Structure 1
Amino acid sequence: MSSSEEEYSSEEEYSSSEDEDSSEDEEAAKARMAEELAKRKVQLEEAQRKQAEIDMRKAEVRKRLEEQSAKKQKKGFMTPERKKKLRMLLRKKAAEELKKEQERKAQERRRIIDERCGVAKNLDGANEAELQTILREFHKRIIGLEGDKWDLEYEIKMRDYQINELNTQVNDLRGKFIKPTLKKVSKYENKFAKLQKKAAEFNFKNQLKTVKKKEFEMPEDDPNKTKPEWAAGPDAVKKTEGDALAEEAVA
């Protein structure tokens, strides 16, 4: 067998193998397409079935509503005019009830005020003795009310204290510690205070006034003032004696 024949036979084998591969690929693609079509068909049938169920339910609900509306029409239908009239009657009734409730509250308030403060006394034509008795009654009532007020305030304080104690006990049992409120203090406060003190001293030294010497001179340093006899010396004593004799001679 020649080389050309061998090449021809190898080409035929290669072409036959390619044909077989292509046929297998086509068959696999067809199988996949068939599977996809089957899946789509199943999904479409499922969707149609669900839609049919939904339509059936809607029809049942519609039928039920129609039956209910028919029954209502048989019993009687509320027209808009009737609804408006009924609404007006309800509002009128509510206004009357509200007015009665307000009157009842006012009467109750008046009754409680009369019980606590007493009925107003008629002071027309009352003499001094009657006025004194009325004042004593009011004074006793005021003292009683003040005592009741003090008792109530004390009771409220005790209850607040008990509530606070119970809250602290509960927090202790739960293991919660309430952090107390602390006062905020600047850590640079002492440094600033020292600096301000030094600055104040420096300013005090600079702001001192210049003092004149005459302000602090003693009265002895005044040259115009005469000295006493004991400080003037013997010459001054002689002068004073001569002046005295001259004055006597003139006299």
Structure 2
Amino acid sequence: MSESGEKKPKINASRRLILKSLMLAKAAVMLENETKEKKDEKVRIMAERVPPLDCGRMSLQELQELCKQMHHKIDVVDEERYDLEVKVVKNNKEIEGLSQKVFDLKGKFKRPNLKRVRVSADAMLGALLGSTQKASLDLRANLKSVKKEEEKEKEVTDWRKNVEAMSGMEGRKKKFDSGAPAQ
């Protein structure tokens, strides 16, 4: 290792460049072969599904019957194409929804910086209701009036004066204090 902490590559730059150019050349050849194979497969499938027409020996009646058959096949193919398009759109929406759920679960979304905006209550009400409707923000006008019930004031008395009455002993305290035996 050198002093800067970087690892030296195992192969030098010229060797790496040669390998890269060889890989690109091989990829170009493979791509060319793949397009040629696709073209050949398309020709083979078309020959298989659509036989060559010989319209020179057909009568008018036979040509009309052939046209009806072709229209019927076109309708069948269009129905299949429409069904496949609907499936693709449905799957794309499902994929988009699932990817959004994954994105939300990862929690790597940025929250925008919100600015504090000072708006008066009348301005906010005007913005919500629209500028055509003028409304005041007198919230107390809509409230019902409630009469306060006056609390009954209880007489505040000294508890020591009514100990006997409050204790429910009916005069037994006097007998206890005087030292007389209870009957």
Same-fold status (TM-score > 0.5): no
Q: What TM-score does the superposition give when structure 1 sets the normalisation length?
A: 0.28
Max radius of gyration: which structure?
1
Q: What TM-score does the superposition give when structure 2 sets the normalisation length?
A: 0.37
Structure (1/2) with the larger helix percentage: 1
Report which structure shows greater RCO (CA 8 Å, sep ≥6): 2
